[in-house]
Amino acid sequence: MSDEPESKDAGHPTAEVADLGIVDGLAQLSFLVQAALGKVAAEHGLSVVQLRLLGVVRDRTPGMQELARHLGLDKSSMTGLVDRAERRDLVRRSPSPHDKRSLLVSITPEGQNLARRCAAEAEQQIRDLTAHLTDDQRSRLSLLASALVSRHTPI
């Protein structure tokens, strides 16, 4: 047996890696995740924002203003986004039962199908990003990400 330290295999979950720091680490992680989501979106002729729209409306029916806040869009950008999604029969607008001046956005069956396919593909992309982590590391990362998101998500 050698007295030499074991090789540090960057692909191994217990390998020591340089700490990028919270800012660079999260920023670079967001780039990886956005690239994965961008790939999924592009494969279906969607932008990342359209993919996010489907993700939001797949299990709720928000108003246009609420949706705009969640996606970080102004009113005209939100209108254009929903117009394009409506033309593809992915979502529909309907008057709010509580305020006839407000519109609610709901997903169509076609949109639900696409959202399901995209969600499955995005899940696989993200799982591929974390494949080299141990189950415990993935679990801790999930809990930490959930803690961050729960404090900063409007919907």
Residues of the chain falling short of pLDDT 50: 1-10
The ranges assigned to domains in the chain are 36-125
Provide the phi-psi class of 72: left if phi over 0, else alpha when psi is between -120 and 50, else beta: left
pLDDT for 154 equals: 59
CATH numeric code, 36-125: 1.10.10.10
Contact 131, 124 (CB under 8 A): no
> pLDDT, tens digit, for every residue of 44-69?
999 999 999 999 999 999 999 999 99
pLDDT for 16 equals: 78
pLDDT for 151 equals: 85
* Strand ranges, E, within the chain: 91-95, 103-107
Dihedral over alpha carbons 29, 52, 151, 65 (to 10 degrees): 150
